[in-house]
Chain A
Amino acid sequence: MGIGFLIIWHSKERLLFSVAGIAMAVAIMFLEQGFYYAVLDSQARITPLINGELVVVHRDRTHLNKWNSLERAQIHRVAALRGVERVIPVYKINARLYNEDADRQRRVLVYAFPADAMPLKIGDPDEVLSRLRLARTVLFDRRSRDIYGQLQPGTDLEIDGAMYRFDGFVDIGPDLVSDGALVMSEGTLFERHPSISPVMAVLQLVENADPASVRERMMESFTNIMVMTPSALAAREMHFIKHSAPIGIIFGIGMVAGLVIGVVVCYQVLFNQIIDLLPQYATLTAMGFSQVFIARLVVEQALLMCLTGYVVAVPVVWYLFTLLADHTRMVMALDLDRGLFVFGLTVFIGVLAALLALQTALRANPADLY
Chain B
Amino acid sequence: MDSQRNDVPGVTVTDVDFSYGSGRAKKQVLFGCSLHLSFGELVIMTGPSGSGKTTLLTLIGGLRSLQLGSIRVGSLELRGMPTRRLDLFRRQIGFIFQDHNLFDSLSAGQTLRLAMRLFPGRYTRKELRERPLEMLEALGMGEYLHARPDEISTGQKQRVAIARALMNHPKIILADEPTASLDKETGRVVIDLLRERAIKNNALVLIVSHDQRLFEFSDQVVRVVDGRVLANEDEMIAALD
A residues apposed to B, CB below 8 Å: 3, 6-7, 9-11, 277, 279-280, 282-283, 285-290, 366-367, 369-370
Interchain CB contact (< 8 A) of B101 among A7, A279, A290: A279
- Is B193 positioned at the interface, with any CB of A under 8 Å from its CB? no
Contact of B91 with A6 in the complex, beta carbons under 8 Å? no
Contact of A286 among B61, B114, B208 (CB under 8 A): B61
Shortest CB–CB separation between residue A98 and chain B, in angstroms? Answer: 68
B131 at interface by CB-CB < 8 Å: no
Identify A282's interface contact among B91, B93, B101, CB under 8 A.
Answer: B101
Across-interface contacts of B103 in A (CB, < 8 A): 3, 6-7, 277, 280
Contact: A370 with B54, CB < 8 Å? yes
Kindly state whether residue B102 has any CB partner on chain A within 8 Å: yes
Complex contacts, B57 vs chain A, CB 8 Å: 370
Contact among B89, B91, B92, B97 for A370, CB-based, below 8 A: B97
Q: Is B63 a contact partner of A286 (Cβ separation < 8 A)? A: yes
Quick one: closest B residue to A5, CB to CB? Answer: B105
Assuming the contacts A367-B58, A370-B63, asked whether A10 and B97 have C-beta atoms less than 8 A apart, the reply is: no
Answer whether residue B25 sits at the interface, using C-beta atoms and an 8 A cutoff: no
A290 to B84, CA, bound (A): 8
**Cβ-neighbour of A283 out of B84, B101, B104 (below 8 A):** B101
11 further A-B pairs in the complex, CB-CB below 8 A; given A10-B105, A286-B95, A367-B64: A6-B103, A7-B105, A285-B87, A287-B90, A287-B95, A287-B118, A288-B87, A367-B58, A367-B63, A369-B95, A370-B57
Which single residue of chain B is at the shortest CB-CB distance from A366? B63
Question: B34 in the interface, Cβ–Cβ < 8 Å?
Answer: no
Secondary structure of the A side of the interface?
Answer: helix
CA distance A289 to B93 in the complex (A): 12
User: A277–B149 Cα gap in the complex (Å)?
Assistant: 14
A283 and B97: CB pair below 8 A? yes
Q: Is the CB of B110 within 8 A of A6?
A: yes
Residue of B nearest to A290 (CB): B87
Q: Which residues of A contact B98 (CB under 8 A)?
A: 370
CA distance A6 to B148 in the complex (A): 12
Contacts of A367 in B (CB 8 A): 58, 63-64
Distance of A7 Cα from B54 Cα, bound (Å): 30
Whether a CB of chain A sits under 8 angstroms from the CB of B176 is: yes
Q: Which residues of A lie under 8 Å from residue B110 when comparing CB positions?
A: 3, 6
Q: Given A286-B61, A288-B91, does the pair A369, B105 have CB atoms closer than 8 Å?
A: no
Residues of A within 8 Å of B105, CB to CB, are 6-7, 9-11
Name the CB-closest residue of A to B57: A370
- Scan residues 35-61 of chain B and give those whose CB is less than 8 A from a CB of chain A: 54, 57-58, 61
- Chain B residues with CB under 8 Å of chain A are 54, 57-58, 61, 63-64, 84, 87-93, 95, 97-99, 101-106, 110, 114-115, 118, 176, 208
Q: Name A369's closest neighbour in chain B (CB-CB).
A: B97
Known: A282-B101, A367-B58. A287 touches B63 (CB 8 A): no
A343 to B28, CA, bound (A): 54
Q: How far is the CB of A330 from chain B (nearest CB, A)?
A: 46
Residues of A near B89 (CB, < 8 A) are 288
A33 to B106, CA, bound (A): 41
A288 to B118, CA, bound (A): 7
User: Judging by beta carbons under 8 Å apart, are A287 and B115 in contact?
Assistant: yes
Query: Could you tell me if A370 and B58 are in contact, using CB atoms closer than 8 angstroms?
Result: yes
Which A-chain residue is minimally distant from B177 (CB atoms)? A370
Q: Once bound together, how far apart are the Cα atoms of A283 and B114, in whole Å? A: 12
Chain B residues lying within 8 Å of A277, measured Cβ to Cβ, are 103
User: How many angstroms from the CA of A85 to the CA of B102 in the assembled complex?
Assistant: 81
Are A279 and B104 in contact (CB-based, < 8 A)? Answer: no
Give the shortest distance, in Å, between B158 (CB) and chain A (any CB): 13
Are the CB atoms of B106 and A6 closer together than 8 Å? yes
Query: Could you say which residues of chain B place their CB within 8 Å of the CB of A286?
Result: 61, 63, 90, 95
CB distance B91 to A10 under 8 Å?
Answer: no
Q: How far is the CA of A285 from the CA of B83 in the complex (A)?
A: 11
Chain A residues with CB below 8 A from B102, complex form = 280
9 of the cross-chain contacts (CB-CB < 8 Å) are A3-B106, A6-B103, A10-B104, A280-B103, A286-B61, A288-B92, A289-B87, A366-B95, A370-B57
Report chain B residues within 8 Å CB of A10.
104-105
Q: How far is the CA of A288 from the CA of B92 in the complex (A)?
A: 8
Give CA–CA (A282, B103) in the complex, Å.
11
- Closest Cβ of chain A to B160, distance in Å, is 12
| Interchain nearest-CB distance for B153 vs A (Å) | 19
Residues of chain B within 8 A of A3, CB atoms compared: 103, 106, 110, 114
Instruction: For B92, list chain A residues within 8 Å (CB).
Output: 288
Contacts of A290 in B (CB 8 A): 84, 87
Closest beta carbon of chain B to A4's beta carbon, Å: 10
Minimum distance in angstroms from A57 CB to a CB of chain B: 65
Write the nearest CB–CB distance from B165 to chain A, whole angstroms. Answer: 8
The complex places the Cα of A11 from the Cα of B208 at a distance, in Å, of 35
Find out whether the CB atom of A369 lies under 8 angstroms from the CB atom of B114.
Answer: no
Q: Which residues does chain B contribute within 8 Å of A279, judged by CB atoms?
A: 99, 101
Docked CA distance A219–B84 (Å):
70
Interfacial chain B residues near A280, Cβ < 8 Å: 101-103
Contacts of A6 in B (CB 8 A): 103, 105-106, 110
